[in-house]
Structure 1
Amino acid sequence: MGHREDLLEGAKRLLATKGYAHITARDLVAESETNLASIGYHFGSKEALLNAAVIDSFNDWDEEIERAIDARPGDAPADRLEAFLDGVIRGVTGNRALAMASVQAFAQFEYAPELRDQLAATYDQARREVAAVLLERDDLDDDTARRVGSLALAVINGLVLQWLIDPERAPSAADLAAALRTIASS
């Protein structure tokens, strides 16, 4: 692994243990066993490195979600959403610290235009991917992908926050899927 990858992996470990706001450049260097110049060379700044680590950490939940979705081929979209949300909940409960670090990073986008741009691009891509998974179709028109993906991401973001704030009273994936079915049938 090169310095770039070492820095990225070290930043992800630190996000999980210290949170976004409490990581110093020296922490990153010590954790990755690199040097201060490597941060600037590969990422431009400590913040850019942390932002890249947060974005990259979203991919770490993909396995949980893919396993949940793959168990439900041919199901209705609401059932696939339920499976998807089950995977999200497992990701949050399995790595609460990283989920918290992601929330802390989101709070930074107002002051970091490059993070806002990265998140916007990530969300744009995620809308299409989530919609394709839920509808089991890759040939979605742009409006359908945007609408379905945006609804799913809004539900996912709200679910993550509820599980972080109050896991005892947070809704289950089944609760949310049932609520969507109720709304759709009304």
Structure 2
Amino acid sequence: MGHRDALLEGAKQCLTEKGYARTTARDIVAASGANLASIGYHYGSKEALLNEALIRANAEWGEALEKSMAYDDESPASPREQFEAVWTKVIELFSGHRRLWSVNFEALTQIEHSPEIREALADGLQEARVGMGEALLAQLEEESDERTVRAVGSFFQALLTGVMAQWLIDPESAPTGPDLSYALLAIMTGTRDRELSD
């Protein structure tokens, strides 16, 4: 592994161990086995390296998330049961990547000062919205025009971000897959009942 790749791996390790703001260039050098000058040579700055490391770590998380959100086409389970199973898997996946989510929430505080982080997070968010929307609609065999894909993907992204924030703050009382399924059913039943009574 060359210095560039070693620095990137070292930066990813430091992000999960120390966080974004507390990682120093010397921390990255110690984790990577590279030298201090190589950060500037390969990435220009420690911040640029950390930004790239965060982008890569999120891309890896996104691939794992996509797999965990897949519905089982062969399952006799109802859409509600599949929704519950998917969110149970997503929450389990989160527990293995808890530190990465902490870093992402920390990175949100940097977006006013770092256009690079804002752009990277915005690009990732857009990609996640489209990916989640298309995947869910395809599995439900629903029509998937651009507006529907964006709306469904945005809903899932909002749910994901909110659930993960609750798991970071208070894991003992954060919602589970069954909780989310029950809540969605209660909302939809209440909405349908009101529509029928109008």
1:140 counterpart = 2:163? no
Instruction: Report the Cα offset of residue 62 of structure 1.
Output: 4.3
1:169 aligns to what? 173
Shift of the alpha carbon at 1:38?
A: 2.8
Q: Which moved more, 1:123-132 or 1:78-87?
A: 78-87
| In 1: Cα distance, 2:124 partner to 2:63 partner | 17
Partner Cα distance (1:79, 1:135) in 2: 16
Change (3 A) 1:169 1:42: same
- The number of residue pairs the alignment matches comes to 186
- What letter matches 1:134 in structure 2? L
- Identical amino acids, percent of aligned pairs: 46
Query: CA, structure 1 residues 184+15, in 2 after alignment: closer, same or farther (shift >3 Å)?
Result: same
Alignment partner, residue 153 of structure 1: 157
| Alignment partner, residue 30 of structure 2 | 30
Seen in structure 2, the aligned counterparts of structure 1 residues 131 and 79 have a Cα distance that, compared at 3 Å, is farther
Alignment of 1:72-111 (within 5 A): 72-73=72-73, 78-111=80-113
Return 84-93 or 65-74, whichever deviates more: 65-74
Q: Which runs of 5+ in 2 are unaligned?
A: 192-198
Separation in structure 2 between the aligned mates of residue 44 and residue 88 of structure 1, nearest angstrom = 36
Aligned to 1:34, the other structure's residue is in SS state coil
Shift of 1:116: 0.4
**TM-score, normalized by length of structure 2?**
0.81
**CA deviation digits over 1:14-45, x for unaligned, max 9?**
11111111100111112111223332333332
Report the counterpart of residue 58 of structure 2 in structure 1.
58
TM-score by length of 1: 0.86
**Is this contact kept in 2: 1:131–1:145, CA < 8 A?**
yes
Between the aligned partners of 2:106 and 2:69, the Cα distance in structure 1 is 28
Indicate the RMSD between aligned Cα atoms, in angstroms: 2.4
Is the contact between residue 26 and residue 36 of structure 2 (CA under 8 Å) also seen in structure 1? yes
Q: Rate the CA distance shift 1:77–1:69 in 2: closer, same or farther, 3 A.
A: same
Q: 3-state SS of the aligned residue for 2:180?
A: helix
From the CA coordinates, give the structure whose radius of gyration is larger.
Answer: 2
Which sits farther off after the overlay, 87-96 or 109-118? 87-96
Deviations 1:120-149 (A, max 9, x none): 111111111011222226983321221111
Structure 1 residues 16 and 135, CA, compared in 2 at 3 Å: closer, same or farther?
same
Structure 2 CA distance for aligned equivalents of residues 56 and 84 of structure 1: 24
Match in the other structure for 2:49: 49
Within the candidate set 120, 123, 135, 2:122 is matched to: 120
